[in-house]
């Protein structure tokens, strides 16, 4: 069990959760969180790592069901269970990089930006964030990006010239990620997508997070959540 440092509502039904402790994790990986003592829901909920240091780990989540509703009621010094890190994250990248997030899909991109800024082989990080109504966490992303672009109520994918980058990391609605992949005209850029799927166990045992790829069905929790963009079949 770990203690909560804060669990703030930063926009309507969107929370910023910070938990005390020294945890491990790579950009794009996730943890399973469980913050209730009742028997139901039985399993925890998956959340990408938003930020990480030697003292704490952070997550961004939207309240959309019973599990996240229970999480939103937690306060400072309440106890929470977390397990991880799980999954395959974003690869190391070089050159000019675009980070594209839609809504709470921005969650795995902040740690990615922080880590990429440390790499000498990275020339520039341009972050594109799209929101339905209100922009959130802009001050944090502005500090770790060489350029930050925001769109509210539109389509953030239209602001990204995908083919001008060496790497593109994206997370958000499927329509957004599909539009990013469809822009690609050659081997460059290398596009990697962080998929958002319902998960039961986080370790590949329950088979509830299957996604369709060019090489067959894969488990988002174990073989993802990050996949090369050209591998994903969008409905």
**How far apart are alpha carbons 219 and 122 in whole angstroms?**
30
Distance CA 207, CA 137 (A): 34
- The string of pLDDT tens digits covering residues 31-70 is 999 887 665 665 678 999 999 999 999 999 999 988 899 9
Q: What does the pLDDT read at residue 200?
A: 59
Residues 6, 9, 12: CA angle, nearest 5 degrees:
170
> What residues contact residue 179 under an 8 Å CB cut-off, 6+ apart?
155, 157, 158
- pLDDT at residue 232, rounded to an integer: 85
Give the three-state DSSP class for 232.
strand
The pair of structure tokens assigned to 193 is: 């997508």
Q: What is the pLDDT of residue 204?
A: 59
Separation between Cα atoms, residue 141 and residue 158, nearest integer Å: 20
Distances from the Cα of 231 to the Cα of 36, 144, 169, angstroms: 37, 29, 14
**Rounded mean pLDDT, 86-90:** 94
In sequence order, the β-bridge partners of residue 126 are 98, 147
139-181 residue pLDDT tens:
999 999 999 999 999 999 999 999 999 999 999 999 999 999 9
The hierarchical CATH code for the domain 95-231 is 3.40.50.80
How would you classify the pairing of strands 147-152 and 122-131?
A: parallel
pLDDT score at 165 = 97
Q: Which position has the token pair 């209730």?
A: 36
Q: Where does the pLDDT of residue 3 fall: very low under 50, low under 70, confident under 90, or very high at 90 and above?
A: very high
CATH topology match: 2-86 vs 95-231: no
Domain ranges of the chain: 2-86, 95-231
The secondary element (H helix, E strand) that includes residue 69 is helix 66-72
Element (H, E) at 47: strand 45-48
The class (CATH top level) of 2-86 is mainly beta
């Amino acid at each position: 069990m770990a203690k909560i440092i804060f669990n703030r509502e930063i926009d309507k039904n969107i929370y910023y959760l910070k938990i005390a402790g020294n945890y491990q994790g790579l950009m794009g990986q996730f943890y399973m969180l469980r913050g209730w003592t009742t028997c139901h829901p039985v399993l925890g909920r998956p959340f990408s790592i938003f930020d990480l240091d030697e003292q704490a780990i952070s997550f961004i989540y939207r309240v959309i069901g019973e599990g996240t509703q229970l999480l939103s009621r937690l306060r400072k010094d309440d106890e929470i269970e977390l397990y991880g890190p799980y999954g395959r994250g974003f690869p190391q990248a070089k050159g000019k990089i675009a980070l594209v997030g839609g809504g709470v899909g921005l969650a795995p991109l902040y740690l990615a930006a922080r880590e990429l800024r440390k790499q000498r082989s990275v020339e520039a990080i341009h972050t594109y964030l799209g929101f339905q109504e209100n922009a959130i966490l802009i001050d944090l992303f502005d500090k770790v990006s060489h350029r930050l672009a925001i769109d509210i109520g539109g389509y953030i994918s239209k602001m990204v010239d995908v083919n001008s980058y060496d790497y593109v990391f994206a997370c958000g609605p499927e329509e957004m990620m599909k539009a990013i992949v469809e822009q690609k005209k050659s081997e460059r850029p290398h596009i990697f997508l962080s998929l958002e799927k319902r998960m039961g166990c986080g370790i590949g045992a329950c088979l509830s997070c299957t996604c369709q790829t060019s090489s067959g069905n894969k488990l988002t929790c174990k073989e993802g959540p990050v996949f090369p963009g050209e591998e994903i079949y969008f409905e």
